[in-house]
């Protein structure tokens, strides 16, 4: 699975002749090229089978016209006052069974928006509105920030832009080991490379195609040695009968492998899905026991029961507090367990226009 497995590329006519489009097509010499008017013609077609497409997704090259940089959902961040997210891609190389994208999108095809310069301009506008305050920009919300880096050149192009704007903070959130472009650049203080983890058992059962925990930790150690600031994201928390044992094992592996001094932030958050996303995902994967477990609907979200969710959070908070300084720990908000949140909750469906229109 990866860029080399892409057999078909749809290209919007509007951007077909642009240099970035041509460069990407040149990296896929064996792929079939199909022109389209707007990416929604392909991405939003009815009667698509997300699970079937996931075995051989196509790539769609497009221009993003609106909503380039959006306010982050409540509870998404690592302590910043101004939080925004942007999506240079829709959909992810990996196949994590708990991922909300398969409940939000009809299609498993990848959409890559090639108009990076328009993203830069939108980021500049958000910075101007902040009046000199630091502003956080989160990548990796609707995709993995680095998994297709060899094809997209996303980080290689965005990092120099952020390097010249010290008040603009960038989070690259990933489960990938595609870090070559970062190692080829000088580390910048206002970028956090945040790696997501679940325990080994969940990784093996639920995260198809995701690099091993060990290989991700090796990538983090290489980045730390080059001066990059790192993030650890334990998100979402997944219950099992051996929850404490499995998470203790994960924490030991993570914090034995990377220097605490390199950490910018460590965050965790609950497993939560909007009910309509949950229903679609359960229908797509009727035999997945994750969706047949002890879940309930409360406050407009499907999640673990509040008592269980809080017990999980308190355990993680206690164990993390033993391993990392308080100033880098950002648990999500659970009752009176309050700290700047760090979980990756999907935005309300009303905010997710990409799920419905181009």
Per-residue pLDDT of 310-323, as tens digits, reads: 999 999 999 999 99
Domain boundaries, the chain: 72-108+116-355
pLDDT at residue 332, rounded to an integer: 67
| DSSP SS3 for 19 | helix
Using CA atoms, how far apart are residues 345 and 76, in angstroms rounded to an integer? 7
> Which pTM was predicted?
0.92
Q: Which of 52-61, 69-78, 180-189, 262-271 has the least mean pLDDT?
A: 69-78
Residues 174/204, Cβ–Cβ less than 8 Å: no
Using CA atoms, how far apart are residues 177 and 169, in angstroms rounded to an integer? 21
Q: How confident is the model at residue 1 (pLDDT cuts 50, 70, 90)?
A: low
- Write out the E strands in 215-318: 229-234, 263-268, 272-273, 296-298, 301-303
pLDDT at residue 352, rounded to an integer: 41
**Is 350's pLDDT higher than 90?**
no
pLDDT digits (tens, 9 = 90+) for 198-225: 999 999 999 999 999 999 999 999 999 9
**Is 33's pLDDT higher than 80?**
yes
What pairs with residue 138 in β-bridges?
A: 85, 171
Task: Taking residues 328-337, report their average pLDDT.
Answer: 66
Q: What percent of the chain has pLDDT over 90?
A: 82
**Is 345's pLDDT higher than 60?**
no
pLDDT at residue 92, rounded to an integer: 95
pLDDT at residue 136, rounded to an integer: 97
Using CA atoms, how far apart are residues 330 and 346, in angstroms rounded to an integer? 18
pLDDT digits (tens, 9 = 90+) for 267-306: 998 999 999 999 999 999 999 999 987 899 998 999 999 9
**Is 75's pLDDT higher than 90?**
no
Tokens for 319? 């164990």
- Whether CATH 2.40.10.120 fits 72-108+116-355: no
For the chain, what is the mean pLDDT?
91
């Amino acid at each position: 699975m990866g860029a080399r497995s892409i057999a078909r590329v749809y290209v919007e006519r509007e951007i077909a002749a642009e240099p970035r489009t041509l460069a990407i097509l040149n990296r896929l010499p064996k792929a079939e090229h199909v022109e389209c008017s707007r990416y929604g013609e392909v991405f939003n077609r009815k009667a698509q089978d997300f699970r079937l497409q996931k075995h051989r997704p196509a790539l769609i090259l497009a221009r993003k016209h609106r909503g380039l940089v959006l306010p982050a959902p409540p509870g998404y961040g690592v302590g910043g006052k101004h939080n925004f997210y942007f999506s240079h891609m829709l959909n992810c190389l990996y196949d994590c069974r708990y991922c909300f994208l398969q409940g939000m999108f009809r299609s498993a095809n990848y959409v890559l928006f090639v108009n990076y310069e328009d993203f830069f301009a939108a980021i500049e506008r958000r910075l101007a509105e902040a009046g000199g305050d630091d502003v956080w920009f989160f990548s990796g919300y609707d995709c993995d920030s680095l998994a297709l880096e060899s094809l997209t050149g996303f980080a290689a192009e965005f990092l120099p832009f952020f390097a010249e704007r010290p008040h603009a903070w960038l989070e690259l959130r990933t489960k990938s080991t595609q870090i070559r472009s970062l190692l080829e650049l000088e580390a910048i203080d206002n970028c956090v490379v945040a790696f997501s983890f679940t325990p080994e058992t969940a990784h093996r059962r639920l995260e198809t195609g995701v690099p091993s925990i060990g290989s991700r930790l090796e990538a983090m150690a290489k980045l730390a040695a080059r001066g990059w600031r790192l993030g650890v994201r334990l998100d979402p928390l997944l219950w099992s009968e051996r929850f404490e044992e499995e998470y203790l094992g994960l924490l030991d592996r993570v914090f034995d492998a990377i220097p605490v001094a390199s950490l910018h932030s460590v965050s965790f958050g609950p497993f939560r899905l909007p009910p309509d996303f949950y229903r679609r995902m359960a229908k797509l994967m009727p035999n997945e026991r994750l969706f047949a477990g002890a879940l309930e609907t409360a406050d407009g979200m499907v999640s673990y029961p509040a008592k269980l969710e809080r017990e999980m959070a308190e355990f993680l908070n206690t164990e993390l507090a033993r391993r990392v300084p308080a100033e880098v720990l950002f648990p999500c908000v659970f009752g009176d367990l309050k700290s700047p949140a760090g979980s990756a909750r999907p935005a309300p469906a009303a905010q997710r226009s990409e799920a419905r229109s181009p």
